[in-house]
Structure 1
């Protein structure tokens, strides 16, 4: 069959349109403003786990730009300028992310709530996702409790050698060598996520501080944790939320650490977005924010096993 045809059915296209309308209605009811920020920027993210798509100019004198992996930085500039609560529903891009649950171009819903705690944001995310999927409950477990219950290890105190030994008992790791967070991520994706597949809507919160990304850190029960969560729906990661970092100096320190890790792994360092730094120096309001994969939300709603079944044209047909 020719690849000019869409990969999704007419029914999937209709469900896609309906869920877009539901999302916009949800935020209109809550008086959260829809915004529209640029897809192209002179800056890409420093996070080593994310590679943005680079756009090369036709003129040798012009600088290359990046298709944005998230509208986060531009939205935070709006927050610092006094926008109030905002959301964006649109396209995002990541290089090299191809598979049943990944596509280089995807639809992302991202929103920010000034004054919200992480717990309040989790409740709002749970409310929205339950409305979209016709479900009626969600559960919350800490990152530490999940590892302790399933693997009987404390991710804060377990050593790299112990994690490697544990992974070898569960998986075929060959000659693989990873750092502490690398082993934790491997166990999460290959051992814990299959467990979460049987637990419906499950929030995992309070991550190790080394996995804070742009979340704030705080001390709970004598232990430093990153104030972030991920939402899994039937074992599929759907949303990633933070109580947002406000300290511009800490932002710059984390970006420098990211670039050290990028260089160690052979990745190109990235320049931190100077406009975001300026906005944070001006003053980002106390807020919590979350990004939610809309295509994966549709997968869960329709019981699909791949993104291409819920997108008009995935990357193979683009």
Structure 2
């Protein structure tokens, strides 16, 4: 244990021996919010605040302190000539990081800084560890930043700003969807059959049933059951879990918003998506132009609708100069090998094309918002075949800053086709693809009762928050990311 911790523990013991509680139950002086004081700074009025000590500056018989609370800072001064007992108590027992409650009269210093002239003081919580850095300075050790995120939030205002953007993204998404007539529903996190995406699940054992269940990898199949049950417009914002990579764009636990609308197709969903994103940027940031780090440089991205729309095959031709429709399977396999892409469960032309697209085009060229549409049908077992070309699926993905932000379909509502597609996925699983979709018998049965034409959407809230916050790592927008 460090000498600093021992010193602070000794202060705690001494306070207790003097019948001074270093952890009182509530403030003696009812605190006002720092925000309300800063917004209406009436000099000469008496105020009270509570918060953490972020800085101490001693000038002979005068002590200046910075108090931070709820992300805001205010200065206070303790003048020995006016408040000797408080001055001496502070010098003897109070350290950086302590929570304090002060009251006093507002004035401005010679430099014009709003300050509380302290005439009442209470120690609210004695911190036993000193802050690792000065307030306003970022922790340099990423392991410490993410493992002890409370320190990151405590010391760095920008970290709080980023997380607040994430939380407001959730809030404003919810408000927007309700305003469009969607009903927020809930679906089970633990499921007997996982589905709705290609991912390896987390498994758990339900002792009461003596069976293996799974943490959900998507919200999709249960939300579609709502559509079948007669709810025409539904959405859910929730955690999903995929036993996959941990990197700048992936965390095994993340937040998604999925929405399903009866009597709509993927064209309607594209309009909903771009309207939602423009709305979020305007409400949260006050602008639709954001700066996002891409390839080591910050680039301006305009989130104003309409977003560009281009088919996957046309995007291959425009950005990579490749006409994938003319490539033979042998040539596609050579490209897979060149880019070190392996397909579990055996070769499939459609899935090969999508994997190549993500590697060759998506990450490098799709910086401004763009809807990539019309995917190979075999890559999308839950999507409806394209109305003009059955080899394609009515699917789009939205890319911004080289990241996939949203995935959407004109939903497959033919139960016979859905059963066939599930059987094909089962064959992939038999051949070793752990991410292939399991056969969901109950969902197929539900479809047999009839589902209207439907458009569906999934948006990665964390990645969208990255765009709005202008950061390059998903760990920045997840308060407590998974660490080894």
Classify 1:13/1:173 alpha carbon distance in 2 versus 1 (closer, same or farther; 3 Å): closer
Q: How does 1:56-71 map to 2 (within 5 A)?
A: 56-58=205-207, 62-71=210-219
Alignment TM-score, normalising by the size of structure 1: 0.89
Residue 266 of structure 2 is matched in structure 1 by 118
SS at match of 1:283: coil
Instruction: Give unpaired runs (5+ residues) of structure 1.
Output: none
Kindly indicate whether residue 373 of structure 2 is the aligned counterpart of residue 205 of structure 1: yes
Q: Deviations over 1:61-102 (max 9, x none)?
A: 611111111111111111111011000001111112321111
Larger Rg: 2
Alignment TM-score, normalising by the size of structure 2: 0.60
SS at match of 1:86: strand
Choose the corresponding residue for 1:89, options 218, 237, 244. Answer: 237
Kindly indicate whether residue 149 of structure 2 is the aligned counterpart of residue 5 of structure 1: yes
Q: Distance in 1 between matches of 2:416 and 2:404?
A: 30
Relative to its length, the structure with more strand (as a share) is 2
Count of residues in Structure 1 that have an aligned counterpart in Structure 2: 311
Choose the corresponding residue for 1:294, options 461, 471, 479. Answer: 461
Q: Deviations over 1:93-123 (max 9, x none)?
A: 1112321111111000000111112111101
Residue 30 of structure 1 is matched in structure 2 by 180
Choose the corresponding residue for 1:107, options 255, 263, 267. Answer: 255
Choose the corresponding residue for 2:164, options 14, 29, 40. Answer: 14
Shift of residue 19 of structure 1? 1.1
Q: Deviations over 1:24-48 (max 9, x none)?
A: 111121111000111011112386x
Query: Which of structures 1 and 2 has the larger relative contact order (alpha carbons within 8 angstroms, sep 6+)?
Result: 1
Q: Distance in 2 between matches of 1:279 and 1:233?
A: 35
Q: Distance in 2 between matches of 1:260 and 1:18?
A: 43
Classify 1:173/1:126 alpha carbon distance in 2 versus 1 (closer, same or farther; 3 Å): closer
Shift of residue 178 of structure 1? 5.3
Kindly indicate whether residue 291 of structure 2 is the aligned counterpart of residue 142 of structure 1: no
Conserved? CA contact 1:160–1:183, under 8 Å: no
Conserved? CA contact 2:249–2:474, under 8 Å: yes
Q: Distance in 2 between matches of 1:151 and 1:178?
A: 22
Q: Distance in 2 between matches of 1:211 and 1:28?
A: 32
Conserved? CA contact 1:159–1:180, under 8 Å: no
Q: How does 1:173-212 map to 2 (within 5 A)?
A: 179-198=348-367, 200-212=368-380
Conserved? CA contact 1:53–1:66, under 8 Å: yes
Q: How does 1:154-165 map to 2 (within 5 A)?
A: 154-165=323-334
SS at match of 1:228: strand
Conserved? CA contact 1:46–1:259, under 8 Å: no
Bigger drift between 14-23 and 293-302 goes to: 14-23
SS at match of 1:316: coil
